[in-house]
Structure 1
């Protein structure tokens, strides 16, 4: 293998979860990936299970194609994009390019941009037209449900501080996404902000939004344990849409106007309609969710009735440094969000835990 530097004890084989088609994910022994110029090999320390991973496992059309959507996944592939690891090999030029040395701990942003399309050339790398993301495109960007992962030459890698609590590192990726969604909301001091959906992402959004210090911060979820955690993380109010009319509650708190910013992170169609009902005229609606099914809404609310500023939020552009800093300094605390760490071989159990979400929030697979 064309390593420039490597540790002496690298194996030739590694165990990995390999995905062939929806529902057909297997633990296999496969060759260790080769590392080329400006590439890095990490020994994986842990990798979180994302809701998108579970939806991919179940064959969501937005991943595998169907229902008018093109296939995006390239099987067979190794899933997993919320990872961290230790540098065990460096290709020629990688040390200089990334400032990484053997033994360093690092993370890599979930997208591996092509560096050549109009978006990459314009600095909008997170919207890369090719759009390879770790854990969905085999060979090109295999993920981290494995013992070792290759970081391609166009990857965006970040070194972790030596005293970082590494077991918290799988939360860097979802927190980076959460920070981006909060930034898209352009939160001001006098704003009333609502965050709907308190999974790992939503709870990160609550903590990030608290740092913006809005006038009121409201969190919404149907699970009471997550609502309680949101209060601990700085929410002023929490509401359960199964038990109360949350749109009416928010309007009561705002003299009938509605919230200034609504961030949708639940992935449930009802959350979209709920948000359109409770956001004020000329308000800002931020959409950060992956849906299993299309959502139908009355678009006249967006235009004719409220003239809303509708903003999408995708991935975590230029937020990894902030996410690392916030966790490192204790300004954002993922300890209670990372609820379970289980062996890689138990990935199906992990998927079930994430899907049910009863006792778990963020589940991390340990190879």
Structure 2
């Protein structure tokens, strides 16, 4: 095995540099991953565009939708994770501490005590944390999932948008068999939510986007959406009233970044509906929020990631081959091309849907 590993490092705003780092030594409780594929997430793009954020402290190796094979594994780590050298695994971006209130109450994805994504505990001693690298260190507290070695790692790295969609629709959005689900935004998270709704047995799945999203909206139909509407050319409220006989949606998933989406979702949700919101909105007034939420008895919930159970479910869905997931992956790049990958994803160039970084 090589003594050094190549990695793509975000050094400053819109700047990726390819560097080499010593491969860390492993012991009884940790391991080493040979990265096979890693997806580009909107959180990575945010750090790229703005030169870091509250989580990614520069310089760092970004990338946290990670799939690879175990290169080295300590005896205790192997027992704990149920894996051995050569096994293919998906690695969650979280490294929870295991003892804070968030961890002990099952909300480990809100634990920031150790590391999230590519933010290392100590940049001066350990560099190989992120997924845009040839190898990655597996911390003893890492959360890993053994996956089918026969399935392409390029497909398996979709586990984050699909697990988010499953969790947001089914657990947070309380979607039940026969319910109507409206998904605003046909990006990777929105497409994952279509799968989440389909797996929940939703009676009607409606996806909204813009005219420029036509390719993504067509993928949503291939995943099982019953109706697609264009927010820039159609009256969403009227269209959804028509196809739901005026009942509107039981569950609304806001999976886009448009600032007005939360305001719109108050109209798209039916009586006693649930709105799941993953973005921000600074255009709402107390009068609008109060009156519509109160009179409709709406529930509005924010989301941040997903729990382990949803990741396992998503991986089984990917392994099943039930959906043409390859249509989500619009671009693939090598480690040496991460700068190009980030530019395309962050700026929405070249018909970008989902971008994968793949190690041959």
Q: What is the TM-score of this pair, normalised by structure 1?
A: 0.88
Q: Aligned with 1:203: secondary structure?
A: helix
What does residue range 224-303 of structure 1 map to in structure 2 within 5 Å? 224-289=214-279, 295-298=282-285, 299-301=289-291, 303=293
1:255 deviates by 3.2
Q: Aligned with 2:19: secondary structure?
A: strand
Aligned to 2:299: 309
Q: 2:153 and 2:338 mapped to 1: Cα distance?
A: 20
Aligned to 2:63: 80
Q: Aligned with 2:61: secondary structure?
A: coil
Select 1:195's aligned residue among 177, 180, 183.
183
Q: Does residue 77 of structure 2 align to residue 94 of structure 1?
A: yes
1:78 deviates by 0.6
Using the TM superposition, name which of 304-313 and 46-55 deviates more.
304-313
Give the unaligned 5+ runs of structure 2.
none
1:301 deviates by 4.1
Q: Which runs of 4+ in 1 moved over 6 A?
A: none
Q: Report how many aligned residue pairs link the two structures.
A: 347
Q: 1:14 and 1:302 mapped to 2: Cα distance?
A: 55
Alignment deviations for residues 89-115 of structure 1 (CA, whole Å, 9 cap, x no partner): 113411111111111111111211111
Residues 284 and 357 of structure 1: CA distance in aligned 2, closer, same or farther (over 3 Å): farther
Aligned to 2:18: 27
Residues 333 and 112 of structure 1: CA distance in aligned 2, closer, same or farther (over 3 Å): farther
* 1:47/1:365 contact within 8 Å kept: yes
Alignment deviations for residues 12-39 of structure 1 (CA, whole Å, 9 cap, x no partner): 1111111233333311112113324321
* 1:251/1:259 contact within 8 Å kept: no
User: How much is the aligned-residue C-alpha RMSD, in angstroms?
Assistant: 2.0
Alignment deviations for residues 254-286 of structure 1 (CA, whole Å, 9 cap, x no partner): 333421110000122122222122112321001
Alignment deviations for residues 196-215 of structure 1 (CA, whole Å, 9 cap, x no partner): 11111211111221122222
Give the unaligned 5+ runs of structure 1.
1-9, 65-70
Aligned to 2:196: 208
Aligned to 2:148: 161
Q: 2:333 and 2:15 mapped to 1: Cα distance?
A: 20
Q: Does residue 135 of structure 2 align to residue 148 of structure 1?
A: yes
Q: Aligned with 2:50: secondary structure?
A: coil
Alignment deviations for residues 337-356 of structure 1 (CA, whole Å, 9 cap, x no partner): 11221112222221232231
Larger helix proportion, structure 1 or 2? 2
Q: 1:107 and 1:190 mapped to 2: Cα distance?
A: 32
Q: What is the TM-score of this pair, normalised by structure 2?
A: 0.90
Select 1:219's aligned residue among 193, 207, 221.
207
Aligned to 1:351: 342
